[in-house]
């Protein structure tokens, strides 16, 4: 069951409306990329444990890969995406709670509750001016010593790869609201209590993983 909707930041209302439409054919559109992503998901989630918040759970592609001892809260701004995630939650080994929540507000999410925050491709769809609000929420809901792992997309420095991305830019932003030029890493670096321990790329210099912990 999807919990009742919490308030949405007014600057996210357009993004929410976009995904209420995109959700109906999201998995079909995303299939070419998911062929690659599905090999990464179990690697990114295999050591996650305890109380876990997945911010931007989307259609629930990660759910089956969480270890059985995880107690997971998955939030997303779009109810239709959560309806799809709910179907995948039935195959999950762990306990799953799904809520319609804005990651910049998290009004129903308690403070200092979570051992982990996981996010895959949330921040690349979030406008840069809202990302500090999401970082503040990450700071608030993580326990001291709690860890985070984010997967995001960047523009490549390789001219050939960059040109290929630029050809997709309009499509990616129109359908997903995503951009390759978000400064997610910079926002976390400027956090008052989130410390980055490692960054690495899963593929070329495009798919960036950001890992760290809360002081």
- For the chain, give every domain's residue range: 2-214
CA 10 to chain centre: 20
Assign domain 2-214 to its CATH architecture. 3-Layer(aba) Sandwich (3.40)
pLDDT at 1: 61
Phi and psi (nearest 5°) for 68?
Answer: -65, -25
Average pLDDT over residues 86-95: 97
pLDDT in tens, 7-27: 899 999 999 999 999 999 999
Which residues neighbour 95 within 8 Å (Cβ) at sequence distance 6 or greater?
70, 71, 72
Q: What is the band of 151 on the pLDDT scale with cuts at 50, 70, 90? A: very high
Average pLDDT over residues 145-166: 98
pLDDT at 7: 86
């Amino acid at each position: 069951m999807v919990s009742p909707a919490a308030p949405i930041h007014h600057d996210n209302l357009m993004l929410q409306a976009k995904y209420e439409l995109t959700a109906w054919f999201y998995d079909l559109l995303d299939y070419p990329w998911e062929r690659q992503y599905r090999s990464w998901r179990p690697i990114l989630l295999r050591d996650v444990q305890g109380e876990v918040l997945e911010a931007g759970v989307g259609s629930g592609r990660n759910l089956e890969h969480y270890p059985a001892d995880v107690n997971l809260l998955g939030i997303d701004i779009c109810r239709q995406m959560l309806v799809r995630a709910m179907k995948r939650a039935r195959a999950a080994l762990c306990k799953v709670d799904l809520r319609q929540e804005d990651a910049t507000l998290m009004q129903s999410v308690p403070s200092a509750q979570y051992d982990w925050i996981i996010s895959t491709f949330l921040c690349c769809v979030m406008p840069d001016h809202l990302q500090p609000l999401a970082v503040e929420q990450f700071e608030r809901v993580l326990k001291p010593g709690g860890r985070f792992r984010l997967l995001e997309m960047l523009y490549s420095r390789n001219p050939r790869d960059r040109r290929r991305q630029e050809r997709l830019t309009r499509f990616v932003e129109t359908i997903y609201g995503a951009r390759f030029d978000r400064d997610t890493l910079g926002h976390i670096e400027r956090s008052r209590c989130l410390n980055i321990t490692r960054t690495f790329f899963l593929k070329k210099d495009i798919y960036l993983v950001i890992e760290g912990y809360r002081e």
